[in-house]
Amino acid sequence: MENDEYVDSSSASDVGDGPPSTSPSSSVDSANLEGEALPIEFDTALPVEHNYLGENLEELRGRTVLDDGSFQLLPLLPQPGVVLVPGQTLPLMVFYPPTVSMLRKIISTNGTFGVICVRYFEASNPKMANVGTTAEIYEYRDEEDLAGFRIKAKGRQRFRVMESQRQVDGNVTATVKILPEVILPDSLHGVRDRSLDRYRSEQVNLSRSVSTANGIRLRRQQAISRRDSMMTVWPHWVHNQYNATTLSCRVKVHLSYLKLGSTAARLQLPEDPTELSYWVAQAMPLLDEQRLSLLQINSPIQRLRWELCVLEKCQMLCCRDCDAEVADPRETFSMSVEGPQGTYVNPGGFVHETLTLHKAEGLRCLNEDPSTEYSWFPGYAWTIAECRYCHKHMGWKFTAIHRLMKPQKFWGVCRRSIVTKLVTEEDLEPVL
């Protein structure tokens, strides 16, 4: 897919809802017992594979874990507009020969490098952020007859840049400090009733219904917590503000509208508070500055509190340039098992973090034929979409190439093209 930052508005028009009449690449049983065609449910595991990068990628095995608080000398790969989060998948196509040479050396060692966000405050004055995330290569393809060095990497650990230097070949290396994950103890641990400890160790799955035995365990633990809080000067609700289990439950309630593909199944969210805090940071359409602020927070409890505040105030997704309303956040859904916002790379090597939406009222498509070339979602053709008001490139509209595919259409919006409009105290004041 190409990144068209400028689009001639004279060639833009509304595109019809009907998908192209192109035959699908996969076969399906075309009739059920009643003789009617069966719908084709999109396989949400496909986008995670990034098959557009090619087949037969070589796999790197093993895992590198750097000690918390240690100082490491890492090669850095600056990326404009990309703030990598631990757990996030990063596909890359690299063409610059010195960078390709650097990646080959990384693959021959531990497969780990640092990803740092580059921001352009002025057109000729790019600046690197002071925090980033290590990335570990798990698949790559390096062939002479292939355009670009192709890799798939996974975000691992946060770091702070202590000192950086640019080498003669243009590559950047830096001395970084690996930031720790500070797990705060339960605020009621010191005053707890030890006779009830056997109930505290019960495992509670927050993604299951509270009507089951799982819900009974959850309510029992909450009752025990209220009993413990009676031994302190603070009421129970204050302690809940810093309880990892309670915060995780509240975050999941706010994200309960997320569905997987066109089905009614809910998206399975991580149970671990640390993993959940990173998953939400990856899934939310945040600005680069907001993501960088989250990377500087060492406690998952504090990250969840910050994210919960944004989720509670999120009102509308707007165009970053003209502030026009683009879509309701509740139109967000997941076309990938990794979440509603995925990271993809186009043939030119430009990385796009793309949020998938059912509807986007503030967008329109160019008057051109949909293309399946290099599609990030197999079975769908894409058309460039722009803001209906300022004509800024916003993303793409994806239409199914088969009339039975579900969903038949959806929008993919670039994270860097939108901004989240939050409810303020002024918005909540009654109009007199």
> 66 pLDDT exceeds 90?
yes
pLDDT for position 223: 83
**pLDDT, tens digit (0-9, with 9 covering 90-100), for 152-211:** 999 999 999 999 999 998 899 999 999 999 998 887 777 777 777 776 665 555 554 444
Q: How far is CA 256 from CA 105, 196, 250, 332, in A?
A: 44, 31, 10, 11
The band of 17, judged by pLDDT with boundaries at 50, 70 and 90, is very low
Q: In this prediction, what percent of the chain has a pLDDT beyond 70? A: 82
* Greater model confidence, 37 or 366: 366
Mean pLDDT of the chain: 83
> 426 pLDDT exceeds 60?
no
pLDDT for position 189: 75
Q: pTM for the complete prediction?
A: 0.83
> In the chain, which residues fall in CATH 2.170.150.20?
318-422
> In the chain, which residues fall in CATH 2.30.130.40?
47-178
53-57, 359-363, 387-391: range with lowest mean pLDDT: 53-57
pLDDT for position 203: 55
7-16, 119-128, 247-256, 274-283: range with lowest mean pLDDT: 7-16
The band of 54, judged by pLDDT with boundaries at 50, 70 and 90, is confident
pLDDT for position 188: 76
CATH topology of domain 47-178: 2.30.130
**pLDDT, tens digit (0-9, with 9 covering 90-100), for 308-338:** 999 988 889 999 999 999 999 999 999 999 9
Q: What is the 3-state secondary structure (H, E, C) of the chain?
A: CCCCCCCCHHHECCCCCCCCCCCCCCCCCCCCCCCCCCCEECCCCHHHHCHHHCCCCEECCCCCCCCCCCEEEEEEEEEECCCCCCCCEEEEEECCHHHHHHHHHHHHCCCEEEEEEEEEEECCEEEEEEEEEEEEEEEEECCCCCCCEEEEEEEEEEEEEEEEEECCCCCEEEEEEECCCCCCCCCCHHHCCHHHHHHHCCCCCCCCCCCCHHHHHHHHHHHHHHHHHCCCCCCHHHHHCCCHHHHHHHHHHHCCCCEECCCCCECCCCCCHHHHHHHHHHHCCCCHHHHHHHHCCCCHHHHHHHHHHHHHHEEEEEECCCCCEEECHHHECECCCCCCEEEEECCCCCEEEEEEECCCCCEEEECCCCECCCCCCCCEEEEEEEECCCCCEEEEEEEECCCCEECCEEEEEEHHHEEEEECCHHHHCCCC
pLDDT for position 205: 57
pLDDT for position 18: 36
**pLDDT, tens digit (0-9, with 9 covering 90-100), for 265-307:** 667 889 899 999 999 999 999 999 999 999 999 999 999 999 9
pLDDT for position 10: 36
pLDDT for position 264: 59
pLDDT for position 123: 59
> 361 pLDDT exceeds 70?
yes
**pLDDT, tens digit (0-9, with 9 covering 90-100), for 107-145:** 999 999 999 999 876 656 788 999 999 999 999 988 766
> 431 pLDDT exceeds 70?
no
**pLDDT, tens digit (0-9, with 9 covering 90-100), for 215-227:** 676 777 778 788 8
As its CATH architecture, domain 318-422 has Beta Complex (2.170)
pLDDT for position 413: 96
pLDDT for position 196: 74
Q: How far is CA 336 from CA 260, 323, 378, in A?
A: 7, 28, 12
pLDDT for position 12: 38
pLDDT for position 36: 63
